[in-house]
Amino acid sequence: MRLLVTGAAGMLGHDVVAAAEVAGHDVTALARRDLDITDAAAVRAALGSAAAESVVNCAAWTDVDGAETAEEAATAVNGEGAGIVAGEARDAGVHLVHVSSDYVFDGRARAPYVESDPTSPLSAYGRSKLAGERAVDPERAAIVRAAWLFGVNGPNFVATMLRLASERDEVTVVDDQIGCPTYTGHLAWALVSLAERRTTGILHATAPTRCSWYEFAREIFLRAGVECAVRRGRSADLGRPAPRPAFSVLGTEHVADAPRLPSWQEGLTAYLETTRVIR
């Protein structure tokens, strides 16, 4: 398969390229500096040059807090840009896998969100990602909602915790946000599989087990052999510009099509082994 990956220099995009190459596909990897997805002519040319059969759109504005004061810019990429990629792919007969987010939900649920649950984003970032979903036709493309991503090729919660542990004896981590930490190395294989099968529709793809950020931090230190106390904190005390969903657990009502990923514990082990942190 000839596969085009946008946002290829990002944490997820890097792993998608690696997974696709291991799977034997002919991959064209375009970073932001190579392709501006808000430029329709550039997207059209990239699809043609790559002779792509499928495209995985990992290009995104990912600064959640920054989007609060730059919503127009975030939406230009996450909303309008996603629509341009979708439109050009449709016109060229190219299958699309588009990556969305748990932030399209408000986090007030008590049970895992499934694909048909009503969306109600709390933040500018969430609204920008929802705009992207609405710009992509799920009858022609796969829209994949992911959550709590961590990987070795970009800033992430695991790296932040390990850095803080090297600087201090204790950290405070919120325990009032629940989600499913998802290793990008695992998600990448799922996205490539969806491209191979030319799957369509809205699908949820996260690790199947849940935890709080507090619980995640404790497990990081335990598995890395790091001595650092973890104190419970509250989201309200952080004073961050963008509100976060308190409950970001994603389930699925499309068991046959939705990717099945390993647990976040397996993802954490893979991350630590790859970065040679495990003792």
CATH of the domain at 115: 3.40.50.720
Question: What's the structural domain count of the chain?
Answer: 1
What is the pLDDT at residue 106? 97
What is the pLDDT at residue 213? 98
Tell me the β-bridge partners of 104: none
Give the chain's mean pLDDT. Answer: 96
Residue 272 in 3-state DSSP? helix
Range scoring the smallest mean pLDDT among 52-56, 70-74, 252-256: 252-256
What is the pLDDT at residue 279? 47
What is the pLDDT at residue 277? 59
- How many CB atoms are located within 10 Å of the residue 123 CB? 22
Non-local CB neighbours of 208 within 8 Å, separated by 6+ positions? 180, 260, 261, 263
> Is residue 216 assigned to a domain?
no
CB 228 within 8 A of CB 165: yes
Q: Give the Cα separation of 158 and 22 in Å (integer).
A: 25
> Is residue 231 assigned to a domain?
no
Active site residues: 125
239 pLDDT tier (thresholds 50, 70, 90):
confident
- Mean of the pLDDT values across residues 62-69? 97
Question: Over 50: is that where the pLDDT of 103 sits?
Answer: yes
What is the pLDDT at residue 122? 97
Tell me the β-bridge partners of 99: 144
Q: Give the Cα separation of 223 and 268 in Å (integer).
A: 8
> Is residue 237 assigned to a domain?
no
Give the domain extent around 131.
2-154+180-209+248-262
- pLDDT tens figures, 104-138: 999 999 999 999 999 999 999 999 999 999 999 99
Question: Over 80: is that where the pLDDT of 186 sits?
Answer: yes
Question: Over 70: is that where the pLDDT of 278 sits?
Answer: no
> Is residue 123 assigned to a domain?
yes
> Is residue 272 assigned to a domain?
no
